[in-house]
Structure 1
């Protein structure tokens, strides 16, 4: 009887068995983005992380920029879902303030995704999926402003509201919200966002663009 030890099977090579390659590639790329920044994302590295050939990602993404655009579009969809999950207060002003807070919280919690969504790395005009995702978020903001009494489509007001929220978010994400220590104490970010949102509403009212909602 041959008592030689039976050969030990080598562990199988990692292979790709997921049913949705596009989603797997996007998730792998997002990990690289969060850990090392947008400049480090490449189709070759993402393919290696997922366990497919270097050519496989091109079935779903024509370029590295297309992959980044898909990640950015997903960020806008997440932001819209955050807005949708907010409670529906009877007071439209309270909802607007809550949206401003949620926007800034999202940026601070996911700075790499936020920078990609609104930074120069990807042009929305070149990627319809990204442009449409951004427009959906803008549509949610338009609705909140119309509820405040701003006549539809509230384009200028929506852009102005996005501008003030983005400015605060960017300052917080970059750690640049600085004050003069001889004059001020460090502001509480949540209170600062709420105060800014209510000043914006007051400006709408003073300009006659909104109803008497406090």
Structure 2
């Protein structure tokens, strides 16, 4: 009798502990359920819709994030450069390529939790200088650079967040077929 009770408690402990651990992993992982990768950029196209999976909804609730509906726009997050290395604030990067069509877009640096990296400025469709052919070339880093410069400060991990507002990409089904700018490391300080 005691043996049956102990085995039952052990089975419950393993089930509850394993379930809690899997949820913790799913909510904290860089690329979780429902993510679509476009190069080094990740997006969750169903996040603001009724089709969002329970893990994505829980992640949004835990972070207190405001998500865009599919008709409103799409948010892409890159935590790694083109070589697959994590983005860090003490390094300089170039972001080069075309931006998909959108009424307006923004690009900013964020901490892993989502808070903007100081000095909390963003590049957007209205203030950048485009290259011939309509592509974008921007420098991300603490040192001022000519042309389009996205300032960062401090040290530690960061992410780049590209948000497309009122974009046909958001309502299309081929999100993974679009081209997004490439992020390349130029060098690091210290």
More helix by proportion, 1 or 2? 1
TM-score (norm 2): 0.31
**Of the two structures, which has the highest relative contact order with CA contacts closer than 8 Å and spacing of 6 or more?**
2
State which structure, 1 or 2, has the greater radius of gyration over its C-alpha atoms.
1
TM-score (norm 1): 0.28
More strand by proportion, 1 or 2? 2
